[in-house]
Structure 1
Amino acid sequence: MDLTQASTANMEYMIEAIKTKLRMASGAAMQGSSFPLEKYEDLHDLYEMVMGKEHLSISEVEAVASELGNLRK
């Protein structure tokens, strides 16, 4: 998958991957369609950071969840 191209499908993929990695219980409420395409680069950066870490601390998970909330429409 080429995540360098901003698209709704890529945003959906990254959101699902982040939710899976974070094991987010409330992840069902977070859909890729809730994020504007203008925020693609920010979401991609967040995705790269999350996927690049083997483990995330509780505070990191909270920070990622907060940032996802900030990026939503």
Structure 2
Amino acid sequence: MDLTQNKPEHVEYMVEKIKEKLRMMNIGAIKSDHFDHNMYEELFELYEMVMKKPTFSPSEMEAIAAELGSLKKA
């Protein structure tokens, strides 16, 4: 899958993988259709960073959640 291309199915894939990796408690609150497709590059960068790290501190998880929130549609 070429995630460098801005496609709805790629957004969905990345959001699901981020949620899996972080094991977020409120999974229902984060859905791929909530994201602004104009912010695809930022989501892709966040996805790459999350996939590279094996674990996250609580403060890192908060920062990632905040970043996901900033990428949501207004």
**Structure 1: segments with no counterpart, 5+ residues:** none
**Where do 1:9-24 residues align within 5 Å?**
9-24=9-24
TM-score (norm 2): 0.95
User: Kindly, what percent of the aligned residue pairs are identical?
Assistant: 52
How many residue pairs end up in the alignment?
73
Task: State whether structure 2 residue 69 is matched by structure 1 residue 41.
Answer: no
Q: TM-score, with normalisation over the residues of structure 1?
A: 0.96
**Letter aligned with residue 72 of structure 2:** R
Segments ≥4 residues shifted beyond 6 Å: none
**2:69 equivalent to 1:69:** yes
Q: Which amino acid aligns with 1:14?
A: M
